[in-house]
Structure 1
Amino acid sequence: MDVPTHTDGTVARTPRLALRHVRPDDAEAFLAWRSRPDVMKYLYLEPWTMPVARERVATWADASFSAAGDVLTLAVETPTTVIGEALLKWAAGEGQVEIGYAFRPDVAGKGYATEAARALLGIAFEDYGFHRAFARIDAENLASVRVAQRLGMRLEAKLVENDRRPADGVWATEVVYAVLATEHAARRRDWSRTGARVG
């Protein structure tokens, strides 16, 4: 199943952002946050080097999204630059998808993550027809938790010290937030009525 895409690779637009398919030449932009230990700590990965960035981004640019286990990674950009990423991971359960997002630390506090993630839910539910979307978040990553809460996702699980972070060896607690397609549709109607930004 292919998501509707504009000729420039854009999958969705918000008032300030475009979410588009990753291109191989995005490697340097992605390195701006994926080389940072403070970001990668919560992604449970080692910081990237440029060779790793080139390899991973090239793989993502060529990846399909049609079956369980597939991942769709999108670049999030303003009119001038790429500032982050948003992804969908097709989960094993029928109609289930995991969402994720990461951004340059220097754009924090401007609402970009919420705006992009709201658009990402639109892609998941309206373009792909998923029934339920969820986010798995390190409980210490309060900024990401707040994004999930602003999206209207509910806390469904708290897994205490269920995984060890590679960056610091700490046994970290995971929280799981989720939302149904019907709930998201109702919130979109509310956002439209109140004049809030709709991604």
Structure 2
Amino acid sequence: MSRDVAEPTAVMVRTERLLLRRVREDDADDFLTWRGRPDVVRYMYQPPWTAEVAREKLASWVTHPFRATGDVLVLAVELDGVVVGEGLLKRAPGEGQVEIGYAFHPDVAGRGLATEASGALLALAFGRFGFHRAFARIDAENTASVRVAQRLGMRLEARLVENDVRPADGVWSTELVYAVLASEHEARRRTPVVSDAP
């Protein structure tokens, strides 16, 4: 069962390289630099943002509650003080379940930032909010996101063949559902990494 906690206005998580914090209205221009790109939003099943949409979305997310099914908590992801991506927790139907998601500017791709940020999202979901199960819905063609889920120890639970049409290109896409339980995440976190290196 997820815990009822105070509104997460002051959510802030630090990782080795990143700061995840609640979005602010003045993050709109930064978010637009990736949300406005067709190559980024292709797998997000939405059209590219305009400046107006960016302002409206960020203004909404700043004050959006995180209590009921469908509520989202959106965090800006900073690298060296610059907003380079976003992380998302969305309350799913069913007690104690949460969806995680993320997006990053392509300029910072290939550096492990998505894995690092998503690991922080899982720790937040299970630790602060007490969710029982976290899952990610991923377009099967988005192999980079599949690898992130696998690195985080999430298991493939479903493959929904051609279950939705991508607005960006009108293609029927296949959705993969990856998930992990709080107990599995905790066990993995406590397991020491064994290396064969001398």
Q: Which TM-score band (shorter chain)?
A: over 0.9
Question: What percentage of residue pairs aligned between the two structures are identical?
Answer: 68
2:6 aligned partner: 2
1:29 aligned partner: 30
1:82 aligned partner: 83
Q: Figure out how many residues of one structure are paired with residues of the other and give that number.
A: 191
CA–CA separation in structure 1 for the residues paired with 2:136 and 2:77: 18
Cα separation, partners in 2 of 1:92 and 1:147, compared to 1, 3 Å: same
The 3-state SS of whatever aligns with 1:188 is: helix
CA–CA separation in structure 1 for the residues paired with 2:110 and 2:102: 15
2:117 aligned partner: 116
CA–CA separation in structure 2 for the residues paired with 1:44 and 1:63: 21
Offset at residue 40 of structure 1 (A): 0.6
2:128 aligned partner: 127
TM-score, normalised on structure 2? 0.93
Offset at residue 186 of structure 1 (A): 0.9
TM-score, normalised on structure 1? 0.92
CA–CA separation in structure 2 for the residues paired with 1:122 and 1:195: 22
2:168 aligned partner: 167
Cα separation, partners in 2 of 1:85 and 1:16, compared to 1, 3 Å: same
User: How big is each residue's C-alpha offset from its partner over 1:155-199, in whole Å with a ceiling of 9 and x where there is no partner?
Assistant: 000000000000000000000000000000011112xx3399xxx
CA–CA separation in structure 2 for the residues paired with 1:119 and 1:3: 19
The 3-state SS of whatever aligns with 1:166 is: coil
Asked if the contact 1:101–1:113 (Cα under 8 Å) also holds between the matched residues in 2, the reply is: yes
CA–CA separation in structure 1 for the residues paired with 2:130 and 2:154: 18
Q: Counterpart amino acid of 1:194? A: V
Asked if the contact 1:68–1:91 (Cα under 8 Å) also holds between the matched residues in 2, the reply is: yes
The 3-state SS of whatever aligns with 1:148 is: helix
